[in-house]
Amino acid sequence: MTDVIDPFDIALGARIRARREALRITQAQLATAAEVTFQQIQKYERGVNRVSAARLALIAKYLKAHPADFYGEEASDDASPMGQLARTHDGAELATCFLAMPADHQTSLMSVARALAGPSAVNLAQMAA
């Protein structure tokens, strides 16, 4: 057995952590759902221990995601803006907050987002529509 940590395990753990933090879930809460200790969740997130397929399924279910979402860009065929947003640190929370806003606030936020993104982002969105 080797002491070298596989880069894939590190990346998978980082995605689990990012999703957990985006949903504001503690390691202890995730550990309870995944039927492990919070120390084990820490090891998964650092890539020190490998996550089994069955455990990943439990983790993904609790994090309201699909297990494939944690395999990264290479495993996802959803390159759409929504798919990309879902994979960002605050993407799920941003979408939830946006949908909870009244329509006039959504319109205002879109004006701010367009201004911050600049003309190239607006052109790309128009081409995708």
What confidence score (pLDDT) does residue 87 get? 64
CB 25 within 8 A of CB 58: no
- The burial class, CB within 10 Å (0-12 / 13-18 / 19+), for 24 is exposed
Instruction: Name the domain count of the chain.
Output: 2
**54 and 15 co-located in one domain:** yes
Find where tokens 């759409």 sit.
80
Q: pLDDT confidence of 75, banded at 50, 70, 90?
A: very low
**3 and 58 co-located in one domain:** yes
**95 and 72 co-located in one domain:** no
- Give me the mean pLDDT over the 56-77 stretch: 80
The answer to whether position 85 is within a domain reads: no
What confidence score (pLDDT) does residue 95 get? 82
DSSP class of 90: T
